Amino acid sequence: MAAVPISHSESYSQRADLHGEVLAPLAADRKTPDWRHFVAAGTVVAGGVLIATGRRRAGLGVAALGSAIALVEEQPAVRLWWKRLPALLDQTQYFLDRAEVYLKEATSQGKRLQGILRR
């Protein structure tokens, strides 16, 4: 069995530039606290508490609401992620396909080894 090389579609400097491109508008002179951050964080925490206490549906709903508020606040980052989603899905599909091939090979080798050991 051979190792699977994982190719990187972009260099570190490209990722760093893109990271800076997304975060620069987000950090634009926020001297006063924004209430949406507190609401988003509070609802996500409340959702986690509800899930931990066994109220899964309510917890998931509250956590989803908090996540939606956070996503509305961070629109440039959401746009960037949305643009990158197809490439991420392609890479994930490739990884899962390769993992399936290796698992089939491991199963085949395991059966062959069991056959040898039983003789």
Q: Could you read off the pLDDT of 39-89 as tens digits, one per residue?
A: 888 888 999 999 999 999 999 999 888 888 888 878 888 889 889 999 999
Examine the pLDDT at 1 and tell me if it is beyond 50: no
The pLDDT value recorded for residue 81 is 84
How many CB atoms are located within 10 Å of the residue 77 CB? 16
CA distance linking residue 21 with residue 76, whole number of Å: 9
Region at 11 (left for phi over 0; alpha for psi -120 to 50; beta for the rest) = beta
Examine the pLDDT at 5 and tell me if it is beyond 70: no
Residues 84-114 have pLDDT tens digits of 999 999 999 999 999 999 999 999 999 999 8
Angle at 82 between CA 11 and CA 21, to 5 degrees: 50
CA distance linking residue 115 with residue 119, whole number of Å: 7
Whole-angstrom Cα Rg for the chain: 23
pLDDT band at 119 (very low <50, low <70, confident <90, very high): confident
